[in-house]
Amino acid sequence: MAPLTVLFDLDGTLVDSEVGILEGFRRATRAIGLGPDEAAIRQWIGPPLEKSLLEVGVARSDIPAAVAAYRQFYGAEGLYQATVYDGIEGTLDALRSAGVTLAVATAKLVDFAEAVVAHFGLDRYFAVVRGAGLDGLVDKAHIVANALADLGSPPAQRTVLVGDRRYDMAAAAANGIRGVGVTWGYGSAQELHDAGAAVVVDKPSSLLAELLGS
């Protein structure tokens, strides 16, 4: 049975935002005199900003200054240094034509998420865009729960969360909905399977077939 509602993660699922995010992290860490390994930074694309900074070695006392540097750059430049993944718009068109309600649920700051979605013309697809608040401490499960509430609490058995990282799959499980992993983003198939993904797909056309059962 096809889902009635599909929630999408943003970074690594709808858009490839690595360039802007990594430069934002560089600005953030330089602002407090830290230069973490590039591979370590990339590994933490996905979770809330503060959590990512802590994981790459930023001291908790330095978080406010690092976050401010990140947001100054990202809001002015970084969010525009992204591209929509090939096949995503066709997938969204087909889902919408099939009567599926679409939403975005991301750990990105909600103002940035709304700006990215609008900048790339994706806002026409989504009934709801939910993200983190200014404190940056809202976890993905909470963000997904808020998005579901905004959507009128659709039936869990016909609701899916699509994402590229383990945090997405954990958030789906926490909300009692099906998690579908995608491998064109920043997480591996192994990571997604280990996190409980119901299925993992490697291209948007396969995602569409999985969601619509065709």
Same domain, 69 and 37: yes
Query: What distance in Å separates the CA atoms of residue 153 and residue 66, rounded to the nearest whole number?
Result: 36
pLDDT tens digits for range 5-47: 999 999 999 999 999 998 998 999 999 998 777 777 777 777 7
Are 136 and 51 contained in the same domain?
Answer: no
User: What's 198's domain CATH number?
Assistant: 3.40.50.1000
**How much is the pTM?**
0.92
Instruction: Kindly state whether residues 48 and 146 are assigned to the same domain.
Output: no
- Residue 6 is predicted with a pLDDT of 98
**Burial class of 99 by CB neighbour count within 10 A (0 to 12, 13 to 18, 19+):** exposed
**pLDDT of res. 194:** 98
Q: How many domains does the chain have?
A: 2
- The confidence score (pLDDT) of residue 49 equals 81
pLDDT score, position 137? 55
Q: Do residues 40 and 114 share a domain?
A: no
In the residue annotation, 139 being an active-site residue is answered as no
For residues 27 and 131, state if they share a domain: no
Please check whether residues 94 and 192 belong to one and the same domain.
yes
> What is the extent of the structural domain holding 36?
18-80
pLDDT at 2: 65
Residue 188 Cα distances to 26, 182, 183, 200, angstroms: 24, 8, 6, 10
Along the 214 residues of the chain, how does pLDDT read in single tens digits? 667 999 999 999 999 999 999 899 899 999 999 877 777 777 777 777 888 888 888 899 999 999 999 999 999 999 999 999 999 999 999 999 999 999 999 999 999 999 999 999 999 999 999 998 876 557 899 999 999 999 999 999 999 999 999 999 999 999 999 999 999 999 999 999 999 999 999 999 999 999 998 5
51 and 111 inside one domain: no
25 and 104 belong to one structural domain: no
Cβ(109)–Cβ(131) below 8 Å: yes
Looking at the structure, tell me whether residues 182 and 204 fall in a common domain.
Answer: yes
